[in-house]
Structures are given as structure tokens and as C-alpha cells.
């Protein structure tokens, strides 16, 4: 059997044995990835197979539950929706499976409506993603800006970092080259520009873009790592351990004296993204101070 068939068979056994009863929520795709050590696409395909057998069905606001779709859901009339429900479902899918898993068809299936019905509430997918970004940032209000310019900039950077930490898809959804018009993002930009009022205008704008690019760039590592772990079942620490011997051999054979010096005496680096973010932020602000205001 293929991997998805193995997962589907185990869930089918639990349902037929009564371990999962009608109305019970079955494990989410994320839980299946963790419990069976399979990729996200495999877990999704297993649930789709059970849906095709009418053993399970999506329940709006709940997840996938045991039993065929209720009679009302099989009629032509659509359940009542609102924009916030669609946006929340989009965020839930992106949080659990990444932005690549997001589609209008997927959201419609989860909410038990037709795909075309969604367009009345959020427009197309691009418009939905902008609304998802706006809602996600709304979970992290800025608060009063500190008087000291350096602390004001750091506050905005840390708010963005916290948002990226909670929603790993958020960094890839925000564009720096073609910035979307996100209502809740504009006050963040304004707060940084206010903190840089003593700078020459073009320097202030370049600083603001560079700051957001730095925070977003580090955050993209988290999303990539989540996807790699889901696809391979290997954590970052496990991967580093597996590569250690190969790296040691490459350093020994190559003309890499700085590497050899770094790793001498059993030096062990703690790879902590939160600490790395704070270190980089301090370097950014120190460099800005060294350049001087008005530069």
C-alpha cells in the first residue's frame, strides 16, 4: 500500500471499530503528519480518500468529522457566510499546512459551500491573502510608540517578528517589491518613519524598507524549515547532526582555516532564531546609529 492508503486504512479501522464515532473530529492533517511521519500532501490525500467513501466530511469551524455530510449540506442552498469566516478559514489552512495549500476550492470544501460563493465575500485568492495578512497583523497591535527613536524602531520590528512567529506563512505573503495595501500594516510603516524624522527623506525610506526586509528575511527561514520538516520528517537539529561528519571532512580537505578555527576545541553553536533575530536587530540599529542621523 502507498503511504496515504496506510493512513486512510488506519483511520477507516478506527471508524469501523467505533473508536471514532459519528460527529467525532478525526485527526487533522497536521496531526497525521506528526503521528504517521508522512508529508502534508499524503495526509491530505488520506482524508480526501475517506471523504470520497463518505466516512468523513468537513464541518465548518470544526474540521473533518466522522459521518456523511448532513442532509442540509447536500441541498442546493448555501449556508450563511460572512467575510470574517472565510478569512479565518484561510488563516487556519495556511497556519496548518502553509500558504501553498490555500485555494478557494479548499476553503469552500472546508466551509461546505460552492467555490463561487466565496467570491462574493472576499474576491479572488489574491484579495483574500491581503485580508488574511491584515487580520493576522491585527492580532498584534503596536501600542504607544517610545520616545527614543531606536526603541520605537525595535518595537515595530519585534511586533512583526511575533506575528511571523505565530503565522509562518505571513512572511511569504507580504511583498516588499510590490507592497499590498494592507490597512493594519500602514501604521507600522508610519511608526518607523516617525522614528526617523531626523533622517534625510530618502535615507528614512531606505531604512524602513531595509528593516522590514531584515525581519521578513529571517522569518522566511521558519516557514522553509516547517515545510522541510513536514516533507521529510527530519528536524533541523537532526539534519545538522546527520551532516556533521560530512562537514568536518569538507573542512579538513579544503583550504578553510577560519572554519577550522571556529570549530576548534569542540565549539558548539546554539542555533536559536529568536536570539539570532535580536542579535541582527541590534547590529542593524548599531549600524544606523553609527551612520548618523541625516545620512
User: Is the model's pLDDT at 78 over the cut of 60?
Assistant: no
Which of 44-48, 160-164, 218-222 has the least mean pLDDT? 44-48
pLDDT tens-digit map of 240-271:
777 777 777 787 777 888 887 877 776 666 77
Backbone angles phi, psi at 65, to 5 degrees: -125, 160
Mean pLDDT of the chain: 84
> Strands 63-66, 56-59: parallel, antiparallel or unpaired by DSSP?
antiparallel
For 44-57, what is each residue's pLDDT tens digit?
A: 888 888 888 888 88
Buried b (16+ CB within 10 A) or exposed e, 25-51: ebbbbeebbeebebbbbbbbbbbebbb
Say what the pTM is: 0.68
- The pLDDT, as a whole number, for residue 248 is 75
CA 279 to chain centre: 22
Q: Three cell numbers at 152?
A: 520605537
The pLDDT-based confidence of 73 (bands split at 50, 70, 90) is: very low
Amino acid at each position: 500500500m502507498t503511504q496515504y492508503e496506510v493512513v486512510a486504512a488506519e483511520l477507516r479501522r478506527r471508524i469501523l471499530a467505533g473508536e471514532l464515532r459519528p460527529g467525532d473530529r478525526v485527526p487533522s492533517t497536521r496531526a497525521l503528519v506528526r503521528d504517521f511521519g508522512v508529508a502534508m500532501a499524503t495526509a491530505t490525500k488520506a482524508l480526501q480518500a475517506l471523504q470520497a467513501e463518505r466516512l468523513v466530511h468537513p464541518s465548518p469551524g470544526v474540521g473533518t468529522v466522522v459521518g456523511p455530510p448532513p442532509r442540509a449540506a447536500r441541498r442546493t442552498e448555501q449556508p450563511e457566510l460572512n467575510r470574517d469566516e472565510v478569512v479565518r478559514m484561510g488563516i487556519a489552512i495556511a497556519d496548518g499546512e502553509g500558504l501553498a495549500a490555500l485555494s478557494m476550492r479548499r476553503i469552500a470544501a472546508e466551509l461546505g459551500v460552492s467555490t463561487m460563493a466565496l467570491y462574493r465575500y472576499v474576491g479572488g485568492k489574491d484579495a483574500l491573502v491581503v485580508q488574511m495578512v491584515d487580520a493576522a497583523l491585527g492580532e498584534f497591535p503596536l501600542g504607544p510608540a517610545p520616545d527614543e527613536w531606536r526603541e520605537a524602531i525595535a518595537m515595530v520590528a519585534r511586533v512583526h517578528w511575533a506575528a511571523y512567529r505565530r503565522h509562518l506563512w505571513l512572511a511569504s505573503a507580504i511583498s516588499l517589491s510590490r507592497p499590498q495595501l494592507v490597512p493594519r500594516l500602514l501604521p507600522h510603516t508610519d511608526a518607523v518613519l516617525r522614528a526617523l524624522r531626523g533622517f534625510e527623506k530618502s535615507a528614512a525610506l531606505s531604512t524602513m524598507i531595509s528593516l522590514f526586509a531584515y525581519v521578513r528575511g529571517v522569518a522566511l527561514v521558519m516557514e522553509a524549515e516547517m515545510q522541510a520538516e513536514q516533507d521529510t520528517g527530519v528536524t533541523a537539529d537532526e539534519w545538522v547532526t546527520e551532516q556533521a561528519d560530512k562537514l568536518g571532512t569538507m573542512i579538513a580537505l579544503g583550504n578553510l582555516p577560519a572554519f577550522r578555527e571556529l570549530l576548534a576545541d569542540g565549539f558548539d553553536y546554539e542555533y536559536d532564531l529568536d536570539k539570532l533575530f535580536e542579535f541582527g536587530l541590534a547590529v542593524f540599529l548599531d549600524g544606523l546609529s553609527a551612520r548618523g542621523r541625516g545620512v
